[in-house]
Chains A and B, each alone.
Chain A
Amino acid sequence: MDSELWIALLATAIGTFLMRALPLLWMQRHLVRKQAGNSLDAMPSWLTVLGPLMIAAMFGVSLVPSKVSTQAWLATAIGTLVTYLVWKRTNSLGWPVFVGVVVYGGVILLANVAA
């Protein structure tokens, strides 16, 4: 890499870091200024709503299979349903994800064997 590319890489890295760190510092100062007993009360309400919405948006985006096909969509639908059912039963974090991936992979493999 030449020196110009190094500068571009560092600018991207520093810019990305600042976008993650500076808003946190701003909010921490905001919370101190408000000096609320409960920090959540001092948070702008739109921000507390936006957090779960960002996760839902990431969920929607990540549902699209890397190789789009009818079988992959079917595996996604079954895998998602099974993940939710296992969560309902176990109320845990790891098991639903593990079983979901196994079922998703199983459907993909079965579809490949059948095809």
Chain B
Amino acid sequence: MSLQIASTESRSLLLGAREAIPLLGGYIPVAISFGLIAIQSGFSGWEAVLISTLVYAGASQFLFVAMVASGAPLWFVVLMTLLINARHVVYGPNIAPWLNKNRWWPWLMHGLTDQIFALALVRLPQLEARERMGWYIGASIVAWFSWIGGTALGAVAGKELTQRWPLLGEIMPFALPALFLVLLAPRFASRLWAITLGSTAIVALLFAVSGMKNAGIPIAAVCGALVYYGLSSLVRNKVQRSRGARDG
């Protein structure tokens, strides 16, 4: 019996690890850039790795290093980095219905990045309850270690790597939009969701083009919610009107 449980756990751990592999295309090049920038900003290699291990939040790490290097007050550095990460507050509640009672879950939330959230929101409901923790650990460990390893690589040899293979850092990050698209694709079957998701993505894209990537994510999501509820109420009114006309 216990052997069977162990085999289920290791199988789901491996499944999670395998399904997180597409994330590496996005994580490693960005982590290499972070390691390189941290070194150029006066941090040591170990310090860069420690930041990636403990904070583990892409954009805010870049901001942390840049603000410290520019001599900004430290309380302001902390405030701004936390502000960038504020969007993470909606991730945990969204996956909560699929998490079993286990005291380790809150600690595992350290690995709940944007991309792991996107993956977990789609995959956790499809898995059996006993497989979910193993899957989540497998996926988040691959992502976390790739981020830490990429930072170390960037700190040690980032300059040489970006000079030798300049196109690699340009091509590999396409894995992220490709993965997000695949995660959203099943919802395109519904016209309501297709319009909502399309308009959300366009608003976010426009914000990103204007250089406001981090603000763009929550604002675009709120715009998307307005589209969703607006369209839903329009459809409801239309149905009620046609029923009224039929009954009258």
Contact = CB atoms under 8 A, between A and B. Distances in A.
A11 interface: yes
B227 to A, nearest CB: 9
Contacts, number: 266
B221 A57 contact: yes
A25 B82 CA distance: 19
A43 B97 contact: yes
Contacts of B229: 49
Given A5-B74, A21-B106, A61 B207 contact: yes
A112 interface: yes
Chain B interface size band reads: 35 or more
A56 interface: yes
A53 B178 contact: no
24 contacts: A8-B64, A17-B110, A20-B109, A24-B109, A27-B92, A47-B94, A53-B225, A54-B91, A54-B114, A54-B218, A55-B183, A56-B196, A57-B217, A58-B114, A58-B118, A59-B204, A60-B205, A63-B208, A66-B169, A76-B177, A80-B181, A94-B21, A96-B182, A98-B22
Interface of B: 18-19, 21-22, 25-26, 43, 47, 50-51, 54-57, 60, 64, 68, 74-75, 77-78, 81-82, 85-99, 105-107, 109-110, 112, 114-115, 117-118, 121, 167, 169-185, 187, 193, 196-198, 200-205, 207-209, 213, 216-218, 220-221, 224-225, 228-229
